[in-house]
Structure 1
Amino acid sequence: MNIFTAHKREVNGRVEIQTVFEHSRGTADLGERYAEKIDTPVIARMQGMIHDAGKLCRDFNDYILEKNNFTRGMIDHCYAGARYLMELAKKTGDPRMVEVARYISHTVISHHGLHDWIDKDGNDYFRERISKDERYEEIRSNLIEMLSEQEWLNLLYAVKEEYMVIRGKVAQIGKDTTTFAFYMGQFERLMQSVLVDADRTNTADFQEGKGTEAVFEENIWEVLSEKVEEKCGEFRERKDPLSKLRCDISERCKCYAERETEICRMIVPTGGGKTISALRFAIHYCKKHGKERIFYIAPFRTILEQNCEEWKRIVGEEYVLEHHSDMIASFKTEEEMAEYELRADKWDMPIIATTLVQFMNTFFSDRMDSVRRMHRLCNSVIIIDEVQSIPAECVCLFNMGVNFISTIGKSAVVLCSATQPDLEKVKYPLRITDSKEYSMTGDYSGDFQALKRNEIISALRKFGYTYVEAARFCMEKYRTEGTVLFVVNTRAAALQVYQELCKQKDSEMILVHLSADMCPEHRRSLIKDLKEKLKKDKVICVTTQLIEAGIDISFRCVIRSLAGMDNVVQAAGRCNREGKDGECCPVYLLNVCEEEIYALKSIKTAQDVSRQIIESKAYEDLASVEAMQLYFQKYYKECKENLMYNVEDAGMETDLVNLLSMNAYRNCGKKSYRVQAFKTAGELFKMIDVPTTSVIVPYNEEAKELMVQLRTETSNSEIAKILRQAQKYTVGLSEKTKRILEKEKALELLQCGVWLLEEGYYDQNVGVTLKRGTWIY
């Protein structure tokens, strides 16, 4: 057999090579292991063996060894394996074999980047790609040396058997043409994930000269179950009613782990010990049912950091990967950073805590690091916290992604929230496993009654409240309650209310303003300080919704500017969290007429639906699960035309469900299940679709020093290192704010593409300001 080089490395001054056969076999072995959990090891082996067939030629060999003038990307090494498989399948005369070969060929062609199988002009990109013939005869003859044609054919027949089983399972959840095509597309992406991870891991292992996979003890869940039970034992020793209730809720969750589930709910009221109960369920479920890892998914970094910290204290931080953008600033050395990036790329730790954005990107983004991670979600327990926070436009995508990963991916998905959205009654519904038992905690009504610590009170007025009137209302409640949290819908509104309160405050009051106009480090410091002040001082905090979900902080009174009922209930969760003296504290709803939300259609719709629920007077308790069910039913009905992530594609109005299924417009309405526009859909998908420009702000001396370094540094690697440290000092500016600050000459654009905010335009009380030294918004 001829020797062809896939990769090379330098060891002690001499060049060592990895042959194409060695790399292909190594990738196949890894892929086979990864795919065992989803019953597709043979498909993974075929992918691995043939993915780099295009490297079986002299030109590529000499390019790797630097013996010719070819540069990266000049040789297409992905098409040849796909073409060979299609030719082999067609020889059998079996249409199913051709279908199977095409699916494998898609993953082979795309293992370095996603593609649209029908392009914007309606052309068949796959056919174009496999019509190439560069070096094909040379490659084909070497492929047959690697395995004989009969061996390739036997492998393809074995692939067909696995594929048909999976196709049958997909047909059970995809009962119409659109959902079937969508889920088959997700299966293609899943197998591409297996191939990409196996390919990159085998390459990294060769380059490093050692294995790069994270390795843990075989009895990992036995070890972690002992740790979590030790923690729960501390609660059992306490005799107060709250601890007893938390223990009871936790026991119910542990018992539920004995049964198999695909998608279920966990409904626990604020203060009921949800964080530990979720961890306890997940660990015991992994132990009982042989799951590989646990994912904790949260919509906001503040919740993620807080709850992840608690999990780390219980099980040990060596078992937990916390994956979000703020983490990159916490590493002191390049070695620590490199290890973190490897684990974040692979998601191969026992417990991964990450954001809802990262979770959704795994299904829908065009980034290959997101694609790579997808298979790690399989055979896992996935805890999705504050599930009501899913944006309306992402509801159907979320439902279909979760349906797929729970059935084909064999994962148990837990939807956590006291305000559960009604995800089963939309066009593409969630497939809840146990419809009889609404929550794993069973009858939760007693839990809510026992933990009722506040009451939502409507103070809505026909013409609403001006900022002055809203501040006056806040001051009235402050005088009777002592501590007040005032949550509004926009940064501008928070600043205006804060300014009015500054005029009305007394000498005893501590007035705090929190906003996304502040950098993460500033907000983190303020929240930490605020928690201490609330123990002894009189406090008013004015903020946007960034504080209302999951933050462990408590006020005697909460005022919420009218919003969706889910936001209202989450804000109420910051009221009287400790339940002192058995009191029921007030949560007031105000309609602030000067808030400019006309461009924020989702908030306006949510306000209108909330008003309907309030004015119907059908529910004595506006925070009840039943009231929330009705709210989401009405809200999703109002938003029904926008639940599938509407986009414009080549001048046509469509949605991502269509682009990722039948791709009807590009495919001229023809029925085909292999025409997804993966690349375009991935580019269009943005979980948080608010165009902002990140700017580094002069919050403190460290931030200012980093800004000085960026102005003078020319090394790309050093700039990247500084930017990692500066991540916690960045603020996202809207296009409008950016234009105003540019006019003020308050922004500096460096050669490396980084924006800096000039001193004088960042204030310790309000964050970014539009005029030097003033708070006027």
Structure 2
Amino acid sequence: MFLAHIAEDGREEAVEDHLCAVAERAADFAARFGSEGWAYNMGVLHDIGKYTDAFQRRIKENGPRVDHSTAGASIMADSGDLGALLAYAIAGHHAGLPDGCPTGENIQRETQDSTLTKRLERFRAENSSGATWLNRAPFKRLGLRGSPGTPTPLVGAQKSGGYGAGFWVRMMFSCLVDADFLATEEFMQGHERKSLPSASAAELRDTLEDRLSMFYPPRTPLNELRCRILDDCRAAATGQPGFYALTVPTGGGKTLGSLRFALNQAALSGHLGAKVIYAVPYTSIIEQNADVIRGMIGREQVLEHHSGFDFDSVDEKPEGQEHVVAHNRERPTGLGDALRLAAENWDAPVVVTTNVQLFESLHSNRTSKCRKLHNLAKSVIVLDEAQMLPVEYLKPCLAALEELVAHYGCTVVFCTATQPALDGIIEDLPRPVEISQAGLDSFEKLRRVTYCLEGELDDARLAERLRNEKQVLCILDNRKQTRVVFESLDDDGTYHLSTLMHPEHRRTVISEIRQRLKEGLPCRVISTSLVEAGVDLDFPVVYRAMSGLDSIVQAAGRCNRNDGRSSSESLVHIFEPDDSYRRPREVSQRAAVGRSVLRSVGYADGGGGLIEIDLGSPEIMREYFARLYDIRRDGMDKGGAYKKLANDRGGWGSYPFKSVAEEFKLIESADCSVIVPSEAIEEEIELLREGVAGRNAMRRLRQYSVNVYRANLPSLAGSVEQVAEDAFLLVNADRYSSACGLDLTDRHGEGLMW
């Protein structure tokens, strides 16, 4: 028997059985977008190379590693243009989607020998006298489909390639690798994986509708307005794919409104597996949104997927297994373990994740990142705080969304109080349909603050202003300035917030801030912009350094958030910060555009008191984003991902999947992390020292880590010990304070501990 796998208990799986299992699963996945015939053939061919003598020696005699993927890719490539496209997926089903040709500006030099073209050339040269081993494959029994026809997403696609063809390859790759993972896992474990006890979109819609009934009939003017927005969200759902916008000011209930629209839209689509995907810019917003959604439809229906989520913290375990450590991925013991498995391929009715996770997966070449993508088909994708999509990546992000809507049955919702003007950025992208007219009309009714232009405020005058307020939030764009202003106050009830504090530290401080605000105690918070989008804080006064109008309006959402004061009493002071601090180029540019919009409506740069218009109105926001995007028109495709994947000249064999994936980083992340010791992670630190820290341990360590650039490490000389390639343990407790977090002040004369 020709073997594909041998389980730990000695059971053997024939290659034929594995190929059939993968082909059937892949076809089921791809049926959602009319590509099941091609997916079945991929499944049949993906491991056809396991019939070779070399692979059989590998599995039966522990022989040397062997490339068993290129054989199937070669057969698929010989079947025509569409086969040439799917050769990428078969060749990369273990190592990841490769680049195409070894020449051309799209391909990195170091990857040329591993390109698809080079691999096919080597395989054909090695089998030039004929691949006799192919006679071992029972193609008739395997049911290889001779002419699957043009897949639905490629009907009318350009013959030379194009963005859509490359996108289809990645979706088909997702079908193949997820089918391969699941089929292999099932054989190796001897049983099917334990899935979440998930409900259909229609069942979840009914559950939500039942919960929302508590808000009807509305008993206050505010709740009456919120109910009108909720009613609009239900009425707007048609089940037809498209782009939508939910533009609702702070306090309008956009989380519940978007959920009502999304579940009704998914239910009306008629697809049993339709999912709802929430993509959010910050983990702080994810946690809040996920809690709200879980409260409405049930915790077992919601997968929260981001680097900071601790699956072990999900405390629902079967009776008698409450203390089972959830590190064994083979035998799930409770909800947390089922959620961990579901995170591998987003096999859950509602997924709440990050923009980074969504869009980097859509441009990835890695199997682990791409497994989930086929589950996006027929889904409703809600982009919360949509204005936070990075301008430098707007073209590839919007192109991916346009493909999902046009060819994969998706609905996309841009959900925010500060709606960006995205139409026209890429060709054929339509202007989104507004979901709620009541939401658009509610900005003046829900106006909770008054803006005030202050002109320039140096650190001393700013600190004096803040000292005179009992409760105040000040948001700055420079971490050094944030610390300087904080230290100049440094009295009881004054707090500092920045990314130099690890996530668990920030959560603790924010909780303490909320309590002081609730009790009416003095509370002055000096923070970077990390608090201005989605963090549930309510101050009577906010100071915001001049920035983009979207940031200013988001900061205003932390002022009078609970509508406990009149708008005239709730002031948002906009000021020009001390110019001795360096601000990020992006912030400076957005601030310049913000000033230009203020001038256009009659407000000069140098101050001048109260602003009588609402800066957060849809009209002002549209004008602001239109100006911002106009000056950034040539800078929306960082690294050329969209241009390279559009592939308008290279043909089927020229897609640079690997190169694009390596360059596509939605957020420029720091190089390494500094772990701050705590009793809560002693065991995880020891595992990391021993080199055996698993995924769960790393998740917990991230909650006590500060991300820094490698260029910052000399400032921590003698204070950190390297415990992994990109991880350092803080060994000098003096370099981390309960007030400000990690101290990156340079101290000379000390050395790193390696």
Normalised TM-score (structure 1)? 0.86
Whether contact under 8 Å (1:329, 1:726) holds in the other structure is no
Shift of the alpha carbon at 1:428?
5.0
1:514-568, CA deviations, whole angstroms, 9 ceiling, x for partnerless residues?
A: 1100000000111111111101212111111111101121111111111111111
Amino acid across the alignment from 2:31:
E
What does residue 269 of structure 2 align with? 289
Q: Tell me the distance in 2 between the aligned counterparts of 1:34 and 1:69.
A: 34
Q: Tell me, which stretches of 5 or more residues in structure 2 are unaligned?
A: 106-111, 314-324, 603-611, 748-754
The answer to whether the aligner puts 1:168 opposite 2:155 as a matched pair is yes
What does residue 627 of structure 1 align with? 620
- Of the candidates 109, 122, 131, which is equivalent to residue 137 of structure 1? 131
The answer to whether the aligner puts 1:265 opposite 2:245 as a matched pair is yes
Q: Please say which of residues 608-617 and 224-233 is displaced more in the overlay.
A: 224-233
The answer to whether the aligner puts 1:29 opposite 2:16 as a matched pair is no
Q: Tell me the distance in 1 between the aligned counterparts of 2:82 and 2:72.
A: 14
What does residue 538 of structure 1 align with? 522
What does residue 374 of structure 1 align with? 373
Spell out the pairing of 1:547-586 with structure 2 (5 A cutoff): 547-584=531-568, 585-586=570-571
Shift of the alpha carbon at 1:251?
0.9
What does residue 240 of structure 1 align with? 220
1:160-188, CA deviations, whole angstroms, 9 ceiling, x for partnerless residues?
A: x233x4322546xx9xx8xx612211111
What does residue 464 of structure 2 align with? 472
What does residue 203 of structure 1 align with? 184
Q: Tell me the distance in 2 between the aligned counterparts of 1:519 and 1:706.
A: 18
What does residue 480 of structure 2 align with? 492
Q: Tell me the distance in 1 between the aligned counterparts of 2:311 and 2:72.
A: 42
Change (3 A) 1:329 1:693: farther
Whether contact under 8 Å (1:253, 1:280) holds in the other structure is yes
Whether contact under 8 Å (1:213, 1:348) holds in the other structure is no
Spell out the pairing of 1:344-359 with structure 2 (5 A cutoff): 344-359=343-358
Q: Tell me the distance in 2 between the aligned counterparts of 1:53 and 1:710.
A: 39
Amino acid across the alignment from 1:692:
D
Change (3 A) 1:729 1:428: farther
What does residue 502 of structure 2 align with? 519
Q: Tell me the distance in 1 between the aligned counterparts of 2:488 and 2:103.
A: 53
Amino acid across the alignment from 1:393:
E
Whether contact under 8 Å (1:519, 1:729) holds in the other structure is yes
Spell out the pairing of 1:659-698 with structure 2 (5 A cutoff): 659-662=644-647, 670-698=649-677
What does residue 50 of structure 1 align with? 45
Whether contact under 8 Å (2:399, 2:642) holds in the other structure is no
Whether contact under 8 Å (2:673, 2:726) holds in the other structure is no
The answer to whether the aligner puts 1:400 opposite 2:389 as a matched pair is no
- Of the candidates 630, 638, 657, which is equivalent to residue 642 of structure 2? 657
Whether contact under 8 Å (2:232, 2:438) holds in the other structure is no
Change (3 A) 1:722 1:121: same
Amino acid across the alignment from 2:515:
E
Shift of the alpha carbon at 1:220?
2.4
What is the RMSD of the two structures over their aligned residues, measured on CA atoms? 2.5
- Of the candidates 755, 766, 774, which is equivalent to residue 728 of structure 2? 755
Change (3 A) 1:408 1:720: closer
Change (3 A) 1:189 1:740: same
Amino acid across the alignment from 1:695:
V
Change (3 A) 1:630 1:756: same
What does residue 93 of structure 1 align with? none
What does residue 446 of structure 2 align with? 451
Change (3 A) 1:429 1:678: same
Change (3 A) 1:431 1:212: farther
What does residue 528 of structure 1 align with? 511
What does residue 165 of structure 2 align with? 184
What does residue 572 of structure 2 align with? 587
Q: Tell me the distance in 1 between the aligned counterparts of 2:365 and 2:83.
A: 23
Amino acid across the alignment from 1:107:
A
Q: Tell me the distance in 1 between the aligned counterparts of 2:194 and 2:245.
A: 33
Q: Secondary structure at the match of 2:359?
A: helix
What does residue 766 of structure 1 align with? 740
Q: Secondary structure at the match of 1:156?
A: coil
Q: Tell me the distance in 2 between the aligned counterparts of 1:118 and 1:220.
A: 44
Shift of the alpha carbon at 1:472?
2.0
Whether contact under 8 Å (1:399, 1:428) holds in the other structure is no
1:707-749, CA deviations, whole angstroms, 9 ceiling, x for partnerless residues?
A: 86358x52x435665433322100011344322112xx11111
Whether contact under 8 Å (1:44, 1:191) holds in the other structure is yes
Spell out the pairing of 1:318-397 with structure 2 (5 A cutoff): 318-328=300-310, 330-331=312-313, 333-335=326-328, 339-397=338-396
Q: Tell me the distance in 1 between the aligned counterparts of 2:471 and 2:239.
A: 45
Q: Tell me the distance in 1 between the aligned counterparts of 2:225 and 2:8.
A: 62
Change (3 A) 1:674 1:564: farther
1:395-434, CA deviations, whole angstroms, 9 ceiling, x for partnerless residues?
A: 1111101101112111111110111111113255633454
Q: Secondary structure at the match of 1:656?
A: helix
Amino acid across the alignment from 1:659:
K
What does residue 651 of structure 1 align with? none
The answer to whether the aligner puts 1:77 opposite 2:68 as a matched pair is yes
Shift of the alpha carbon at 1:379?
0.8
Change (3 A) 1:169 1:442: farther
1:278-327, CA deviations, whole angstroms, 9 ceiling, x for partnerless residues?
A: 11111111221124211111100000001101111111111111111111
Q: Tell me the distance in 2 between the aligned counterparts of 1:432 and 1:373.
A: 28
Amino acid across the alignment from 1:450:
K
How many equivalent residue pairs?
A: 704
What does residue 412 of structure 2 align with? 413
Whether contact under 8 Å (1:455, 1:586) holds in the other structure is yes
Q: Tell me the distance in 1 between the aligned counterparts of 2:372 and 2:410.
A: 15
Shift of the alpha carbon at 1:116?
0.9
Q: Tell me the distance in 2 between the aligned counterparts of 1:248 and 1:595.
A: 48
Whether contact under 8 Å (2:312, 2:326) holds in the other structure is no
Whether contact under 8 Å (1:403, 1:431) holds in the other structure is no
Q: Tell me the distance in 1 between the aligned counterparts of 2:721 and 2:422.
A: 45
Amino acid across the alignment from 1:528:
S
What does residue 667 of structure 1 align with? none
Shift of the alpha carbon at 1:226?
2.8
Q: Secondary structure at the match of 2:215?
A: helix
What does residue 637 of structure 1 align with? 630
Shift of the alpha carbon at 1:237?
4.6
Q: Tell me the distance in 2 between the aligned counterparts of 1:387 and 1:532.
A: 30
Q: Please say which of residues 400-409 and 362-371 is displaced more in the overlay.
A: 362-371
Amino acid across the alignment from 1:212:
R
Change (3 A) 1:718 1:737: closer
Spell out the pairing of 1:91-170 with structure 2 (5 A cutoff): 98-112=80-94, 113-120=96-103, 125-131=115-121, 132-133=123-124, 134=126, 137-143=131-137, 145-147=138-140, 152=144, 155-158=145-148, 161-163=149-151, 165-168=152-155, 170=157
Change (3 A) 1:57 1:708: closer
Spell out the pairing of 1:222-233 with structure 2 (5 A cutoff): 222-233=202-213
Normalised TM-score (structure 2)? 0.88
What does residue 606 of structure 1 align with? 590
What does residue 221 of structure 1 align with? 201
Whether contact under 8 Å (1:484, 1:555) holds in the other structure is yes
1:183-232, CA deviations, whole angstroms, 9 ceiling, x for partnerless residues?
A: 21111111111111111111111111122262646x62343223212221
What does residue 605 of structure 2 align with? none
Amino acid across the alignment from 1:188:
V
Amino acid across the alignment from 1:142:
R
Q: Tell me the distance in 2 between the aligned counterparts of 1:511 and 1:366.
A: 47
Shift of the alpha carbon at 1:86?
3.8
What does residue 275 of structure 1 align with? 255
